[in-house]
Structure 1
Amino acid sequence: MSQQEQTEPEPVTFADLGLGEAVLKALKGVGYERPSAIQEQTIPPLLAGSDVVGLAQTGTGKTAAFALPILDRLDLRQKTPQALVLAPTRELALQVCEAFEKYASGSRVSVLPVYGGQGYGVQLSALRRGVHVVVGTPGRIMDHLDKGTLDLTELRFLVLDEADEMLKMGFAEDVETILADTPDDKQVALFSATMPPQIRRLSKKYLTDPIEITVKNKTATAPNITQRYLICSYPQKVDALTRILEVENFEGMIVFVRTKQETESLAEKLRARGFSAAAINGDVAQVQRERTVNQLKSAKLDILVATDVAARGLDVERISHVVNYDIPTDPESYVHRIGRTGRAGRSGEAISFVTPREKYLLRHIEKATRQPLTQMNLPSVDDVNSTRLARFDDQITTALTSPRVDFFRDVVRHYLEEHDVPEVDVAAALAVVLQGEEPLLLEPGPVQRPERDRPERDRPERGSRPEQGRGAPRGERRQRRESDQPMATYRIAVGKRHKVEPRQIVGAIANEGNLSRRDFGHIDIRADHSLVELPAELSPATWDALKKTRVSGQLIELQPDGGAPAGGRSRKPRH
């Protein structure tokens, strides 16, 4: 044995970190053997009573990094809350709560999740009985503090989990209020994927000589996830997704979109095509949300259409595929999204739809993750039909093993005796009955190609000036000129001082208002507002959706414009 082999250090275990016997026993029960990097570096200083700032992303094991030392130091005789964990979303709060309960298995530790959408009654009765750990979202915690129903006067530990996300979601004021209104001698642990100035300021103001720990491993994606992308135009996406669903062998799937409205719209379109799909977004009631996730876990539901925020904390092992129907605008969101698959060591598939104008986002993701994505082709009609025929064969094979076959064999034999018809014709007739009016095979038809592949005659002639101005993409202005749809001029409350560009206006209004990009005419960006040509008759649903639409963080406050038309041809809108 060489000298190097003799002196090589033994791997660190949880017992080496100073945790007590009760916690070590619980860890053994859940099968944890070795601490992750964030756990190895964070647990000892937390056990020693130091404040900690941990820079680590989702999937690094940070929940155990703060939960284990808290559980090790709880006083089970105290009935008022000793530990408070703030999380940005209900899903993450529930996930953290479940982790605490798992690590505290066999003990008398009481953990309470507190979040919006859940009835106050359950939370109030638990608080009256006494709880040791509260895990909640800032908004609902503030509600309890305002009502006087949550006593934090004896709080010993406070954790900010995914602090950067909480600030992005507008919880900065609530978080600061909670930090300021809890005991000065509490121990604070702050975990964040990034360290923006606001987080740095929070740390300096509310933490005492914190130990800063950085774990870098998660701009890299998991090696067990295969990553592909498909170049397709916006109108092509639904048909492309439908074909992929037909040919891919998937168990459960999450389809990520950018807006709440798109979750409902896409889920409805998928259900109309025969797929088991449901939407999850911030407007879905918590009871319905939990029911939907449980259906996904139990295979009663196959496809979840979700926004980024709604999917935070979602951990379902049977998710084999993630589809970025709308590619995310930053690499961190991409890594987080595709991390919903490939769980527990299983393999996963990630497919991203990329329009020709979004190729730069693809390049950013590849650069940040240091991993190229593989381009895939749109499944052809032959691919889809081969899959359908194979599925039909499997149905026949499975049916042949059914105990009901003997009964129907007698029924068919009786028919053959009464009618002089070949057996294969009877089988074909039964297949017609089974299939109904829906054709078994996909009919060949024209497939819309990405804009980069369209023939030159589909584009405006070089040097010509499009009638519709800057707002509509080039390939769609020609379609606008050929359309008789009446247009009107609308005013929105964002302009040059908000540093907006036509593409931002088109993207926000199209996504939120469920409009096509071909519905846009001329866009005139002025100092403090912009004029946009849109269809003269917008539906009530579109008006309602656009009331909440923001561009560059500013509400657009869409309204009919009373001044001169943006493009000189519009008429007043009707709604």
Structure 2
Amino acid sequence: MTEFEGIVPAIAQALAKRGYEVLTPVQKAMLDPGLAGKDALVSAQTGSGKTVAFGLALAPGLLRGAERFGPAGTPLALAIAPTRELALQVQRELEWLYELTGATIASCVGGMDMRTEKRALERGAHIVVGTPGRLCDHIRRNSLDISELKAVVLDEADEMLDLGFREDLEFILETAPAERRTLMFSATVPRSIAKLAENYQRDAVRIATASEAKQHVDIDYRALTVVPSDRENAIINVLRYYEAQNAIVFCSTRAAVNHLTARFNNRGFSVVALSGELSQSERTHALQAMRDGRARVCIATDVAARGIDLPGLELVVHADLPTNPETLLHRSGRTGRAGRKGVSALIVPLSARRRTERLLENARIRATWAKPPSAEEVNRRDDERLLADPIFSAPLRDDEQSLVQQLLQSHGAEQVAAAFLRQYRTGHSAPEDLQDVPAEGERRKPRRDDFSAPRDDAPSAGRNDFTDGVWVSLSVGRKQNAEPRWLIPMLCRNGNLTKRDIGAIKMMPEETFVEFSAEGAERLLSAIGPDKTLERGIRVKPLAGVPDFSQAKREGTYGKKKPFSDKSARPNDAAKPKWKSERKPERTQAGEGSVSERPDKKPWSKKPGKPNFAKKDAGPAAGKPNSRAKRKADKARGE
């Protein structure tokens, strides 16, 4: 029991009851006698036992030498967490840790019934755990009295600032008594956290556990390069290859979560979704389904990246790449916890390799670059798991012997084994065939020639290995904002191609010429069908040979201005008419001459360029070129 020296006896008993034998580095650090009663800024890796650590640190100050708490009244300690799931998890951890001390622990989290929380606070609580927004609501409504607080704990403080809770945290800390103890726990300590600690802590002790220097050593990071169109298929193969007890697939949007959840359900995976659009009850049920084994895969947004502890979580898949190193670390931190091993797999489209390398470098993580598991590799792994299954070493029970003998006599050992194998494989989703990804040595940076017209002496300047290149014309050009950066992925997506199948690209104002390998062109034309139409209504027209780009530029349908009909009849400026009226013939009557040449019309008025609008036999209104006079004249003639 030397490991638990310096711990309140009731807390030590709870640890022993829970099966604790040794403490983690951060838990040992919080028991340092020199830290007693002082503020602390603690940085430690996710999953290092921080909840138990601050529970151990708070107990002596809250119990004040007593073995058990007295009747509950106004809270003595406040623990603040960024998300509902993390707050409820902290509550569960503190409940078993303080079980033998008689502590009452209440929660105040968004999404729960506020009236129920208010009644619980009215009955009294020793420790309150909550999210920043809901705690502020209770304080402002006077349902939460924090005037007697002895300690405040900010768990995952950096995440709370990232989520925009700065004002709420400042309100709570300014409302709490000045003579209090403030503990801040954060996986990283950026400038914003250091500033918050400077403003609201007094002579805080900075604690960086030894595990921080070797963060995530129990996680095997794997960066898996895929063709963009194979992203979802690669995720399926990764899930099938590892067959983890629990796995989380992270997406960047709710729409992506819903899409993958539907797809994986259709493929036979036991899946639950976790995103911000779900109610608190739905999210709680989803996590409970993961804990009790009813679901094995959780499709989640980053709302689940912090604080969720799923026992047996062995695999984290980044379907959408994290936007920053902190998100990568906290997503991956869901696995490899408490000494257990885990795998964090990043699904990396070919175009995102450089960005992923920078992300890993900034996070100080070394990842193994590889291709996703192929269908053959998944099947081999299934066979290995089947042969190693403990079910084959289990002794034959008495109630099984009779039926086993009947099966062997009726069908034979080989047929029984084949039936068992079929039944085993039926219960697993079939792996996907993936397109081959070029090896690192085969990839190269695109040259200028890749996106320009071939030279006259090099018809296939875009790709030197295109000896039989086939050119096609796309009905989109620079005027439609066509760019290779979205044309190439679209062609790959619609034609089941890779970048290696595409050669030179020549952009015209209203047309684009693209060179393909012979096999790539055939695959593209076959994939798009007889309509020869891609996304956005772009039409594809195969060409015979290399296009004449100069001729196309002069005579193509793109960028060709319609000439004036009488341009050829006017060889020079001297032939142009001087007056506008002379250029426009009379529209009411056909004829080759101008209006002034017609004998049935009156001549022009004295003022050049201004015709006489008076009509023959117009009566008293003659000579008045306005519509009112014309109507009067017409009326007179009609009478």
Match of 2:46 among 53, 58, 83: 58
Kept in 1, the 8 Å contact 2:326–2:363? The answer is no
Matched, 1:118 2:112: yes
Amino acid aligned to 1:33: V
Kept in 1, the 8 Å contact 2:48–2:337? The answer is no
Cα distance in 2 between the residues matched to 1:331 and 1:446: 29
SS in 2 for 1:74: helix
Cα distance in 2 between the residues matched to 1:450 and 1:230: 12
SS in 1 for 2:451: coil
Matched, 1:447 2:435: yes
Match of 2:29 among 40, 45, 49: 40
Q: CA deviation at 1:200?
A: 3.2
Cα distance in 2 between the residues matched to 1:448 and 1:455: 16
Q: CA deviation at 1:81?
A: 0.5
Amino acid aligned to 2:100: G
Aligned to 1:545: none
Return the TM-score normalized by structure 1.
0.68
Match of 2:262 among 268, 282, 293: 268
Tell me: CA distance 1:474–1:105, structure 2 relative to 1, closer, same or farther (3 Å): same
Aligned to 2:60: 72
SS in 1 for 2:78: strand
CA RMSD of aligned residues (A): 4.3
1:337-376 superposed Cα distances (whole Å, 9 cap, x missing partner): 2222233433222221112232234323543555532223
Amino acid aligned to 2:54: F
Specify every segment of 5 or more residues in structure 1 that has no aligned partner in the other structure, as ranges. Answer: 1-10, 417-421, 483-533, 537-566, 569-575
Kept in 1, the 8 Å contact 2:45–2:216? The answer is no
Cα distance in 2 between the residues matched to 1:380 and 1:88: 39
Q: CA deviation at 1:472?
A: 4.1
Kept in 2, the 8 Å contact 1:256–1:306? The answer is yes
Match of 2:343 among 313, 336, 349: 349
Tell me: CA distance 1:227–1:476, structure 2 relative to 1, closer, same or farther (3 Å): closer
Tell me: CA distance 1:305–1:219, structure 2 relative to 1, closer, same or farther (3 Å): farther
Cα distance in 1 between the residues matched to 2:142 and 2:311: 40
Match of 2:10 among 19, 22, 26: 22
Q: CA deviation at 1:142?
A: 1.4
Tell me: CA distance 1:396–1:272, structure 2 relative to 1, closer, same or farther (3 Å): farther
Aligned to 2:634: none
Match of 2:194 among 176, 197, 200: 200
1:310-351 superposed Cα distances (whole Å, 9 cap, x missing partner): 242221222222212222232332222222223343322222
Cα distance in 2 between the residues matched to 1:437 and 1:35: 43
SS in 2 for 1:364: helix
Cα distance in 2 between the residues matched to 1:96 and 1:440: 36
Cα distance in 2 between the residues matched to 1:350 and 1:322: 5
Rg larger in structure: 2
Match of 1:242 among 233, 236, 241: 236
Match of 1:463 among 452, 476, 485: 452
Aligned to 2:170: 176
Q: CA deviation at 1:159?
A: 1.4
Aligned to 2:160: 166
Q: CA deviation at 1:144?
A: 1.2
Tell me: CA distance 1:429–1:64, structure 2 relative to 1, closer, same or farther (3 Å): closer
Moved more, 367-376 or 93-102: 367-376
Moved more, 370-379 or 93-102: 370-379
Aligned to 1:293: 287
Cα distance in 2 between the residues matched to 1:280 and 1:261: 12
Match of 1:304 among 298, 302, 312: 298
Amino acid aligned to 1:275: F
Cα distance in 2 between the residues matched to 1:360 and 1:446: 22
Moved more, 434-443 or 56-65: 434-443
Q: CA deviation at 1:239?
A: 0.9
Cα distance in 2 between the residues matched to 1:412 and 1:60: 53
Cα distance in 2 between the residues matched to 1:40 and 1:304: 34
Tell me: CA distance 1:13–1:319, structure 2 relative to 1, closer, same or farther (3 Å): closer
Amino acid aligned to 2:76: Q
1:25-81 superposed Cα distances (whole Å, 9 cap, x missing partner): 434444253462464257545533x22222334234433332223222225335111
1:167-220 superposed Cα distances (whole Å, 9 cap, x missing partner): 110111111111112222222222223333433333233223333333463363
Amino acid aligned to 2:192: Q
SS in 1 for 2:211: coil
Q: For 1:540-559, what aligned pairs fall within 5 Å after superposition?
A: none
Match of 1:149 among 143, 154, 176: 143
Tell me: CA distance 1:210–1:296, structure 2 relative to 1, closer, same or farther (3 Å): same
1:134-179 superposed Cα distances (whole Å, 9 cap, x missing partner): 0110011112123221111212211122211111101111111111
Indicate the percent of aligned positions where both proteins have the same amino acid.
31
Cα distance in 1 between the residues matched to 2:106 and 2:277: 23
Match of 2:309 among 307, 315, 326: 315
1:104-148 superposed Cα distances (whole Å, 9 cap, x missing partner): 131111111221122224322321221000011001111212322
Cα distance in 2 between the residues matched to 1:174 and 1:226: 37
Q: CA deviation at 1:270?
A: 0.7
Q: CA deviation at 1:257?
A: 1.6
Tell me: CA distance 1:383–1:37, structure 2 relative to 1, closer, same or farther (3 Å): closer
Matched, 1:284 2:278: yes
Specify every segment of 5 or more residues in structure 2 that has no aligned partner in the other structure, as ranges. Answer: 64-68, 454-475, 496-534, 538-557, 560-639
Q: CA deviation at 1:273?
A: 0.8
Count of residue pairs the alignment pairs up: 466
1:376-428 superposed Cα distances (whole Å, 9 cap, x missing partner): 33333333444567789989989997968967997999xx9xxxxx9899989
Amino acid aligned to 2:96: K
Q: For 1:341-490, what aligned pairs fall within 5 Å after superposition?
A: 341-368=335-362, 370-386=364-380, 447=435, 449=437, 461-464=450-453, 467=478, 468-470=481-483, 472-476=485-489, 478=491
Cα distance in 2 between the residues matched to 1:323 and 1:152: 41
Kept in 1, the 8 Å contact 2:231–2:349? The answer is no
Tell me: CA distance 1:213–1:42, structure 2 relative to 1, closer, same or farther (3 Å): farther
Cα distance in 2 between the residues matched to 1:213 and 1:336: 19
Matched, 1:332 2:329: no
Amino acid aligned to 1:22: A
